[in-house]
Amino acid sequence: MELIFHNVNLSINKKKILHNVAGIAKPGEMLAVMGPSGSGKTTLLSTIAGRLARETGDVLLNGQPVDKRMRRKICYVLQSDIFFANLTLKETLVYTALLRLPDSMPHKDKMARVDEIVESLDMRKCLNTLIGNVWQRGLSGGEKKRANIACELLTNPTIMLLDEPTSGLDSSTAYSLMTSMKEYTESHNKTVVTTIHQPSSQIFHMFDRLLLLCEGHVAYFGDAHKVVDFFDSIGLPCTPHYNPADFMLEKVKESEEIQNLIIENADARRQTDQWPKELKKLDHKLALTSTPAADSFTKTAEEKVEQNGRPATNGDLVEMKLGNNIRHDSQIIRNADSEISILIPDEMAVKYNKQKDQRWPTSWWTQYQVLTRRNFTQSKARIWSKINLVQSVIIASVVGLLWFQLPRTEDTVSDRLGVIFFTYVYWSFVPMFDAITSFPEERVVINKERSSGAYRLSAYYCAKMTSELPLILVLPTGFTILVFWMAGLNGVVGFFGMWATIMLTSILTQGIGFVIGMTVLDLKLSISTAAIFMLSSMLAGGYYTRNIPFWLDWIKYLSFINYCYHTGVILEFTGAEPFSCLGNHTTAYADCLHDNNLGLNLNGTLYFKSEAVLEQMGITWPLWLYVLVIAVATIIVRLTAYLILRFIRKPH
């Protein structure tokens, strides 16, 4: 498909970034967008892709204005290589194919599509290699670039937008990558637009057309091999055997006088035969529509279009933030229905309106299943890492040894309360901070995939909750078994009750971690926020102090640890064997006083019932009520996290 962008203007934060930028890219050709840093290259690509709302101008595919559905024919390969680090290249490509290729396409055809792309980009040898990150070795920089492109090519787009595909690569790797892209472009008749900062002379000569930008203005547009002649014609000759790309960038970064000379002559070319006829026609139409008579005709035509069931323009802007390492002018991007400023015939408008392309390539259920499998694979390596396994075993062993086989005596009641409190607190900290630290990396991947229309947010969120549920329960289960046995806590019923409530606590605190991580985007600040929240909950949890000032007594009802801890206490001291008294008058339990007959006198030793601990602590709520509060809090927190992700931290 032929891509035309005409007189594109755009400002960000009241700063004009693009000034009447125009160009054309044809099937089987590569258009290079070049210019110094900050010249508007990435901004232009984001505008063409529909991720930035342009002020004026047109973006057309085969002469038709681009709307949301037509944008699905465009793929946008970001400069940053954003992937899940714990997946292999093959897993990444397969999951992408299952998500982005339609349900109507047989599974074997989807896998064949993956194989085709792998062969085209020469990635067979690294299929089973982890993607990796700065902490874990994986694909090389060039392989990640190819993987980035491969994920977008799976949907067989007609227009490919590549943002700095060679950045960070050595000259040999960059040349190999661009050679593969050139071959793919020609063999599959694709239209490719790529920004590139400073290509080698070999790479430069691969391009068919060139758009050179200078401070957001068009400094040159035309055949790439004629750019040297253009500069020579305005008195800026290129030294023989000098890289044309280096020469151009040096000139557009020179004095303001030189820049103005280049821009003025580039504007003058629009009136010559060197300017593409397609763009000249649009210039002519724009001139016609600027007259009063044309304005009247435009209004009438728009009314006719609306009578046929299609509004003249539609601009619902949605903010989206891209991942890290993307320049400022492309960090905050927006989706927008294309503003149609060129009149189209009524019959074309009606036909255009009748196109009923599905919004999503796959059903909700398909997305949920694929995302669940993918997230399980990705999260398993993180949650079940060797560090976490060793940490859990060591902490459980230390706890078990410190509280090993506690005797059932009055002086060990406080020890039992201590081990119960520590267990619930520990399995509050671990899931919460895991959720907080893992979410930033995941967020940028989700933003990228959602911006390309891969899946619904609800499918992703439900899949994440489901897939991580069994993962976060395994380690606390092992911990509880080890500690419960070593400390000699209250029986089988007590064990299963405590295990269930610890699981519920882990699910609750993971949800709290999601809420904090989604609300506070700065990692250090989110960790500090979580620490303050957790420490406050601990202090008001009923273990460190029970005599809270009356004007602060309400704070204990806001502490989730208060409910979790008291649940564990009820399970430990209900229906358990009695405790032996200390045999002195300093006891806190009336049953242990020698001058009454309430105590159990066995073999000359006084005992008190375990339920007396609950009375002494002032626990009057039944067990089910504490559990109900925790369960309701879990549901509220999970729903809150979804609403934040949906309406506050929109991924697209």
| Residue 330 in this model has a pLDDT that exceeds 70 | no
Q: Which residue has the higher pLDDT, 399 or 324?
A: 399
At 584 the pLDDT is 63
- More confidently predicted of 270 and 200: 200
Q: Which of 238-247, 418-427, 587-596 shows the lowest mean pLDDT across its residues? A: 587-596
The model's confidence at residue 372, banded by pLDDT at 50, 70 and 90, is: very high
Q: Is the pLDDT of residue 650 over 70?
A: no
- Contact predicate 247/238, CB 8 Å: yes
Average pLDDT over residues 162-189: 87
Percent of the chain with pLDDT over 90: 25
Confidence of residue 251 (pLDDT cuts 50, 70, 90): confident
Top-confidence range, 165-179, 548-562, 626-640: 626-640
* Rounded percentage of the chain residues whose pLDDT exceeds 70: 85
Mean pLDDT of 272-290: 68
Start-to-end CA span in the chain (Å): 26
Q: Which residues of 35-57 are buried (b: 16+ CB within 10 A; e: fewer)?
A: bbeebbbbbbbbbbbbbbbbeeb
Residue 327 has pLDDT above 60, yes or no: no
Task: Of 2-16, 261-275, 284-298, 573-587, give the lowest mean pLDDT range.
Answer: 284-298
| pLDDT score at 288 | 57
Question: What is the 3 state secondary structure string of 591-615?
Answer: HHCCCCCCCEEECCEEEECCHHHHH
Q: How confident is the model at residue 313 (pLDDT cuts 50, 70, 90)?
A: very low
d(CA 143, CA 176): 11
Region of poorest pLDDT, from 270-274, 390-394, 462-466, 562-566? 270-274
pLDDT at 347: 36
Task: Render pLDDT for 102-160 as a digit per residue (tens, 0 to 9).
Answer: 888 899 999 999 998 888 888 888 888 888 887 788 888 888 888 888 888 888 888 88
Q: Report pLDDT for 311.
A: 39
Q: What are the structural domains, with CATH classification, of the chain? A: 3-79+158-353 (3.40.50.300), 364-575+610-648 (no CATH)
**CA 305 – CA 351 distance, rounded (Å):** 11
Of 57, 645, 42, the closest CA to residue 338 belongs to 57
> 342 falls in which pLDDT band (50, 70, 90)?
very low
Residue by residue, DSSP assigns 347-372 as HHHHHHHT----SSSS-HHHHHHHHH
Averaged pLDDT for residues 208-215: 89
Global confidence as pTM: 0.77
From the list 616, 534, 606, the residue with the least C-alpha distance to 569 is 616
pLDDT digits (tens, 9 = 90+) for 607-636: 788 888 888 888 889 999 999 999 999 999
Q: Are 35 and 41 in contact (CB under 8 A)?
A: yes
Map tokens 């259920």 to a residue: 365
Name the E strands within 457-616. Answer: 579-580, 600-602, 605-608
Please say if the pLDDT value at position 350 is more than 70: no
